[in-house]
C-alpha cells in the first residue's frame, strides 16, 4: 500500500525589519570557507569569516555559502542575532557595536 510521508520544515528567519539591504559580491580568501549568515571581514586576501580578534574589521554578513570562490555579502540591514551563524568565540553582543557602525542592526 502507499504510505504518505511527512516532513518537517524549520525556517530560519534572519531578516528583522525593513531597513534597506545593500549587497556586494567579493572573492573568498584562498583556503577559506564562508557559511551562510556568518559575519565576514574583507582583507587584501579576500573575504573570510570573522574571528573574535577581527571584529574591528567587520565587512558584513554572508548572504549565502561561498561558492566558486565568491560570496554575496549584505552590508546593511536589520537582522535577528539568533539567526546568524556565529564563528567560535564570537557572540552576538560583541558584534552589535561593530555592526552598528556599518549600518547593520542586530535585534
Summarised one tens digit per residue, pLDDT across range 32-71 is 999 999 999 999 999 999 988 888 889 999 999 988 889 9
Cβ burial, residue 84 (10 Å; 0-12/13-18/19+): buried
Q: Which three cell numbers stand for residue 62?
A: 554572508
The enclosing H or E element of 97 equals helix 92-100
> Do 73 and 40 form a contact (C-beta atoms < 8 A)?
yes
pTM of the model: 0.85
- The average confidence (pLDDT) of the chain is 90
Residue 1: pLDDT band by 50, 70, 90 thresholds? low
Domain 23-106 CATH superfamily: Head decoration protein D (2.40.300.10)
Amino acid at each position: 500500500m502507499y504510505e504518505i510521508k511527512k516532513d518537517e520544515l524549520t525556517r530560519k528567519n534572519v531578516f528583522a525589519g525593513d531597513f534597506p539591504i545593500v549587497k556586494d559580491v567579493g572573492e573568498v580568501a584562498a583556503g577559506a570557507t564562508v557559511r551562510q549568515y556568518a559575519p565576514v571581514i574583507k582583507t587584501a586576501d579576500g573575504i573570510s569569516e570573522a574571528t573574535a580578534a577581527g571584529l574591528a574589521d567587520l565587512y558584513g554578513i554572508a548572504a549565502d555559502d561561498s561558492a566558486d570562490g565568491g560570496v554575496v555579502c549584505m552590508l546593511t540591514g536589520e537582522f535577528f542575532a539568533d539567526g546568524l551563524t556565529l564563528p567560535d568565540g564570537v557572540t552576538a553582543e560583541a558584534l552589535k557595536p561593530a555592526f552598528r557602525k556599518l549600518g547593520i542592526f542586530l535585534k
